[in-house]
Amino acid sequence: MSFEVREKDLLGRIGRLETKGGRVETPALLPVINPRIQLVKPKDFLDTFGCKALITNAYIIQKQHGSEAIEKGIHRLLDYDGVVMTDSGAYQILLYGDVQVDAEEIVRFQEQINPDIATILDIPTGWKVSREYANRTVEETLRRAQRLWKIKTRSDIIWVGPIQGGQHLDLIAKSARKMSKLPFNVHALGSPTPVMEQYFFDLLVDMIMAAKMNLPLDRPLHLFGAGHPFMLSLAVALGCDLFDSAAYALFARDSRYMTENGTARLNELEYFPCSCAVCAKNSPMDLLEKPEEERQKLLAEHNLFVSFAEVRLIKQAILEGRLWEHLEMKAHAHPALLQALKRLRKYEHYLEENSPVTKSKGLFFFDSVGLSRPEVVRHRKRLAERYSAPEKAETLFLLPQTSSKPFHNALEWRGILSKIRENLGERSTRVHVCFYSAPFGVVPLELDEVYPLSQHEVAVPLDKETTDYVASQVSSYVERTSYEKVVLLEDRTIWGRTVTSACKRVCKMKNIRFLNLPHQDISDSLVTERLLETPGL
């Protein structure tokens, strides 16, 4: 087994997971297969949908197929040539409280049926359980994980080490730390299904991050039971690589139609918003009039089409460095998702530390939600920790952002900057030109063309949170530097006045001179006149 990361954005990555049965490109959605109930045949997953990996339940296989599964092997039993992952029956424990098999027996059975990826029989924590019970599930799962290495006999099967703890985040972190010390190739976060069913996506963010921040980054993370397309981008952005879900079939049996942003009942639709093979040939009424078995099959196929399409969109977003933008657009499909996106502010420093520094495309900044994105956090940190103003600078000259970039080449400032150099000559080194802009705050002229300070587009007018952020960054910059004077060219909008007020307050606190030049009356001569008033010039 090997896992190679090809591309990254946020914590999401396009990777290659090598198994004895073939290569799986991540992020990957593994449809759940029940051998007894197959709306879509496993063979069709590979031929029709290009799905190279699926998951089935070893416990159900053992109870229903037993010796046949051992004789044929799981691939022949399912008639599937791709990668097969087996779950152990832990979900049945969550549903029914127990299973009629012990942990060692299900390990031996999985080795006998020969999957490519297998899972130990962990104890799922579940939802709304006491801390004491949750801790018992963590400890028992760990005990079984440790026992695995003494009882398994094969080295060609990838084993999954589940992480438990439920909504108790410290227990998830504990489980992840201890499980990461064992030689598992893949980890999985258990018990997220009740959280997702109730749309507690902000809690899901906390659960995933509690696991992710305590696991080795070179091991893929599987999110059990997560397969609806509208939340996949959130999970991928947080570092989940593998997903499984039976939703495509469960929804089809309930006449529910998946879209990239949610789910609709078939009888509520007049038009299909999709152009897959099913929707292109049928209307909602057509499907409603078909026999139940055929209708369920076609709905299941559509649900798979839309699910795999979303996975491909996510991969393309990672390639282009646009996963954040994709995530923002998805988050506005439901308030619970937007709330989850806002929760990322809690983890903004971890996201920044593990995200690429440069990308092949510029950024789109929509509103204050984007203040948590790694590029904004990185600029704030590096400006505070690594940047020093020019040694000879006595005056800070602050200019507002322009629609064209880089700012110093904008038509609005080209003449002014030229006049400063012309009128002040060598003394111009005592004037340090910076720009105040959203979303980055302060942009020193000498960094103006450094990615992504000139490689972004921002929506105006700015919202209040973004305005306040820019103002706070300007005042923080003035506070920690040693200029003798600040000259600010005020933008004529409300956000410019907010920046002016913040800058004026910090100058007063530091007892340094502050001059505010109104934008509408500005001229080259007025600027140089005000700059010449600086002590020493």
Query: Exposure pattern of 265-304 as b/e (b: 16+ CB <10 Å)?
Result: ebeebeebebebebbeebebeebeeeeeeebbbbbbbbbb
> What's the whole-number mean pLDDT along residues 318-325?
96
> What's the whole-number mean pLDDT along residues 432-439?
95
What is the average pLDDT value for the chain, to the nearest integer?
91
- The per-residue pLDDT for range 347-356, each reduced to its tens digit, is 999 999 999 9
3-state secondary structure 341-360: HHHHHHHHHHHHHCCCCCCC
How high is the pLDDT of residue 532? 58
128 dihedral zone (left: phi>0; alpha: psi -120 to 50; beta): left
Q: How far is CA 275 from the centre of its chain?
A: 27
Token duo for residue 240: 């989940």
How high is the pLDDT of residue 520? 56
The residue whose two tokens read 């029940």 is 34
Q: Could you tell me if 464 and 428 are in contact, meaning their C-beta atoms sit under 8 angstroms apart?
A: no
Q: What is the pTM of this model?
A: 0.92
**Out of 101-105, 140-144, 332-336, 421-425, least confident range:** 421-425
3-state secondary structure 195-257: HHHCCCHHHHHHHHHHHHCCCCCCCCEEECCCCCHHHHHHHHHCCCCEEEECHHHHHHHCCEE
What does the alpha-carbon distance between residue 329 and residue 307 come to, in Å, rounded to a whole number? 17
What does the alpha-carbon distance between residue 474 and residue 478 come to, in Å, rounded to a whole number? 6
- Residue 362 burial (CB < 10 Å; 0-12/13-18/19+)? middle
Phi, psi of 363 (to 5 degrees): -105, 150
The amino acid that residue 126 corresponds to is G
- Catalytic site includes residue 9: no
How high is the pLDDT of residue 536? 43
**DSSP string over 258-286:** EETTEEEEGGG-SS-S--SHHHHH--HHH
Q: Could you tell me if 4 and 65 are in contact, meaning their C-beta atoms sit under 8 angstroms apart?
A: no
How high is the pLDDT of residue 465? 96
**Out of 139-143, 179-183, 190-194, 295-299, least confident range:** 190-194
How high is the pLDDT of residue 499? 94
How high is the pLDDT of residue 518? 74
State yes or no: pLDDT of 54 exceeds 80: yes
How high is the pLDDT of residue 537? 45
**Out of 316-320, 491-495, 526-530, least confident range:** 526-530
191 or 273, which is more confident:
273
Of the candidates 44, 47, 79, 87, the residue annotated as catalytic is 87
> What's the whole-number mean pLDDT along residues 109-137?
93
Phi, psi of 457 (to 5 degrees): -125, 140
State yes or no: pLDDT of 433 exceeds 60: yes
> What's the whole-number mean pLDDT along residues 322-344?
96
Q: How many CB atoms lie within 10 A of CB 206?
A: 18
The closest alpha carbon to 113, from 160, 161, 163, 59, belongs to 59
Q: How confident is the model at residue 27 (pLDDT cuts 50, 70, 90)?
A: very high
State yes or no: pLDDT of 404 exceeds 50: yes
76 dihedral zone (left: phi>0; alpha: psi -120 to 50; beta): alpha
How far apart, in Å, are the Cα atoms of 252 and each of 274, 296, 359, 398?
Answer: 16, 5, 40, 59
How high is the pLDDT of residue 523? 60
Counting every residue written for the chain, the total comes to 537
How far apart, in Å, are the Cα atoms of 263 and each of 197, 229, 288?
Answer: 13, 10, 16
Characterize the bridge pairing of strands 242-245 and 53-57.
Answer: unpaired
State yes or no: pLDDT of 266 exceeds 80: yes
> What's the whole-number mean pLDDT along residues 126-146?
93
How high is the pLDDT of residue 517? 82
The closest alpha carbon to 161, from 136, 141, 191, 184, belongs to 184
How high is the pLDDT of residue 92? 65
Q: How far is it between the farthest Cα atoms of the chain?
A: 93
What does the alpha-carbon distance between residue 211 and residue 187 come to, in Å, rounded to a whole number? 9
How high is the pLDDT of residue 413? 87
How high is the pLDDT of residue 13? 97
How high is the pLDDT of residue 90? 67
Q: How many CB atoms lie within 10 A of CB 127?
A: 16
What does the alpha-carbon distance between residue 193 and residue 270 come to, in Å, rounded to a whole number? 31
How high is the pLDDT of residue 136? 94
> What's the whole-number mean pLDDT along residues 306-323?
96
**DSSP string over 112-126:** HH--SEEE-------
Q: Kindly list the structural domains of the chain, giving each domain's residue range(s) and its CATH number in brackets, ordered by start.
A: 2-350 (3.20.20.105), 363-532 (3.40.50.10630)
What does the alpha-carbon distance between residue 470 and residue 172 come to, in Å, rounded to a whole number? 36
247 or 93, which is more confident:
247
Q: How many CB atoms lie within 10 A of CB 385?
A: 7
How high is the pLDDT of residue 36? 80
- The per-residue pLDDT for range 162-195, each reduced to its tens digit, is 999 999 999 999 999 999 999 999 999 987 888 8
State yes or no: pLDDT of 535 exceeds 60: no
